[in-house]
Structures are given as structure tokens and as C-alpha cells.
Amino acid sequence: MTVAPLVANGVLLTGISGAEFGIRGFIDGWDPDTGRHLWRRYTTAGPGEPGADTWPPGDAYKNGGASTWITGSYDPDLDLVYWGTGNAGPWNPEPRGKLDNLYVASILAIRPKTGQIVWHYQATPNDPYDWDACWELILGDIKVDGQARKVVMQLNRNGFLYVLDRTNGKLLSAKPFEKISWATHVDMTTGRPVESEQGQKVRAYEWIEKWPGTRGAKNWAHAAFDPNTGLLFANTMHAARVYRLLPVEPFKAGQRYMFMEAKDPENRPADLPWGHLEAIDPMTAKPRWRMPLTDFPHWSAVLATGGGLVFTGKMTGEFIAVDADTGKTLWQFQTGSGVNSQPITWTRNGKQYITVLSGLGGLGEIVNRQKLGNVPQGGSVWTFALVD
């Protein structure tokens, strides 16, 4: 379990990781006072469950992935929890047939008391690319065609920015916020991506250069939403991977269940940014401004404040404050180690503070060894007071 719990309407919800190992994903509901297990909602549909016809006959759904390893969001007025699901298992879809495989790479709206799925939206049916939809689900109220709508937004790993009506799951917008080669667009009538010719090539075991790369157009570093301007702020990625599927072998518990290989493209332009810190319009997916990240992408989440500042961190250790209107860096502080965490803001005795953790681990540790040289690994907590 890599996910923080979420408490919604008196129920504690937890998820699970492990889609690369052929698990069957689920979300659990617990009584927070006693620890009693209340319900389990599997995220691959089995026999007798809604969506079972999107899996072939047999046991493919039992190893179908759809892990739930990033915390969902809760709307107490609608009493709905929104939770995303991860990639399918295996990445090679051959055992899963030419079917949608619900609920992999999907956004689920769930009743916290029962685990009932009220509505769902699948971003990548049949998912042969490792396109998670488990990233953070941002709740906001924005104007759509001049009318105020309660929406849930996601900057998906597959490169599309989705805006859904969070009351009923109706798709309001799905536009690319990064370079995409695997699909041409999303059909707004069906809600389905229209795959490019790469979809046929990859299923024929051919090499393709896919945009976004295997780590996606945005990874787990959370985006932020400013309700005053209606803008999203995110650290995005701009990189391709050369990718192909491999023949599937029988499932073995505890071993990776993927069957693909990937490598970096040759002759990547030296001046091509690895990503951007950017302000994005949710309905158009167009950037208001972009800060190119020339060395490597940011793995820190983004925090937007009512004072018009955007905070995030760099792998080289700088913690920065950016003007939300222009993208100009206004302040920075060297923490001594890479920042790949979530900044938070809080108040005490009328004073506002910003806190961030510094210190590489996991993927950051790998990046550090490969690219960052001697940046220290040690962890530390930094707190800054906002001056009057």
C-alpha cells in the first residue's frame, strides 16, 4: 500500500498498489473506530459484476491490475468519493482480448458507505501502454459554456486533460495538454479515445515511438487548482519512449506481469525541455504560461495559494515560489537535497507558513545517481513564514 487513507462520511477508505505484478485491484472501506472491514470494491469486473462482459471468459480479470495507489477525493455535498485506477495487467493486452477491461485506467465515483460505483469514466480502454488514471482528482466549480458546473479534473498520464461533471460523470472536455502520438483525439459523443495507427502497430509487436513516454505526460506529482482564476498548475513531462510489447508468459505470483520493453529515443535534441511547470486552462488544455525544465522534470507536487503564488521544488534542491499570473520565479531557497514531495500551507496564531520535505528516495534516488551527481540524499523538513 503506497496510498494515504481517506475518511469520507465516517468510512476510512484505502487502496492498493501492485498492478505490475498481476494483482486484482480494489478499494476497501473500514470502520475507523473499530478497524472492522465494511466492504471491498474490486476494480476489475468479475463474473456477475457490472462490466464483466468487458473481460474475456476465464481468469484474466483476476490478474487485471487497476491498482488504486493514489488517494481519492471526496465531495461531502454529493457524498461521492472519486478514485482513479491504474494500468491493466499485463501491459500486453493479449490475455485481456480486444475488450475494454473495466475498470482499468478509469475514474470511479463511489458511495463511501457501501462501495457502490455510481458512475465511471474509462480514459484508456484495453490499455496497452501503462496509462494510469489513478492520479489526483481535482474538484472545482468552473464555468462551462457560460454555466457553473461542479467538475472533477484530471491531468491524465496518457496526455489528455479530462473535465467531467462530478454529479453524473458526463464528459465535458478531453483535450491534450502535452504531445500525444497514441491517439488523435477523444470522441466527445462516445467519450472514447480514437487511437492512431500506433495502436495497431503496438498490438502487432512492432517498435513505436510513443508520446508521452512510459512515465506519462504527468506523473504522481500532484497538480493544483486556483478557484479564483480557474487555472490548473502542474509539473508536466515532455519525453518519448521507444516501446514494444513482448509475448506473454504464464502468470507467476510475485513476479512482474508486464511483457514489454522500452528505451530512450536516439538523437533527442539537446535543447528539448524534459517537461514544464505550467498554468493550464482546464477546458482548452492550453497553457497560459510555461516554464521549460531543461535538465530534468520536476517530481515535486505544486501548491497554489490565494495570494497568487505557486510553490514547487526541483530535483537539484531548490524550493521555489512562482508568480501565478506570469510564471516568473520570485523566490527560491536551496534545501540541500532534491525536493520531490508535496508542499503544504498552514496557519498558527494568525501567521501563515509553508512546509516542504527535502530528500530524495525511490525514483528520485535513481535519478540522483544517474544525473544529479553528488546532491545529498539526507532528508529534512523546511518551514518558511510568509512575511507581512
pLDDT at 371 over 90: no
Q: Closest by alpha carbon to 117, among 53, 227, 27, 12?
A: 27
Q: What SS3 state is found at 313?
A: strand
Place domain 6-297 in its CATH homologous superfamily. Quinoprotein alcohol dehydrogenase-like superfamily (2.140.10.10)
CATH topology of domain 305-388: Thrombin, subunit H (2.40.10)
Q: Where in the chain is the domain with CATH 2.40.10?
A: 305-388
Query: Which amino acid makes up residue 150?
Result: K
Please state, in angstroms and rounded to a whole number, the distance separating the CA atoms of residues 236 and 44.
29
Only one residue has cell 528520485, namely 364
The confidence score (pLDDT) of residue 387 equals: 81
Cell 523566490 found at: 331
pTM for this model (two decimals): 0.95
CA pair distance 105, 267, nearest whole angstrom: 32
SS3 of residue 308 by DSSP: coil
The 10s digit of each residue's pLDDT in 178-196 is 999 999 999 999 999 999 9
- Residues forming the active site: 130
| C-alpha closest to that of 214 among 248, 258, 280, 262 | 262
Percent of the chain with pLDDT over 90: 90
pLDDT confidence of residue 76: 98
pLDDT at 296: 85
Residue 373 is predicted with a pLDDT of 58
Nearest of 65, 66, 110 to residue 85 by alpha carbon: 66
Single-letter code of the amino acid located at 336 = G
Residue 199 has pLDDT above 70, yes or no: yes
SS3 (DSSP) at 328: coil
The single-letter code of the amino acid at 219 is N
- Per-residue pLDDT, 388: 72
Please state, in angstroms and as integers, the Cα–Cα distance from residue 226 to each residue in 293, 308, 356, 371, 382, following that order.
22, 9, 20, 33, 24
Cell matching residue 373: 551527481
Residue-wise pLDDT for 8-62, tens only, equals: 999 999 999 999 999 999 999 999 999 999 999 999 999 999 999 999 999 999 9
- In the chain, CATH 2.140.10.10 covers 6-297
pLDDT tens digits for 337-346? Answer: 899 999 999 9
State phi, psi for 183 to the nearest 5 degrees: -140, 155
pLDDT, mean of residues 154-177: 98
The three cell numbers locating residue 332:
527560491
Q: How far apart are CA 195 and CA 15, in angstroms?
A: 30
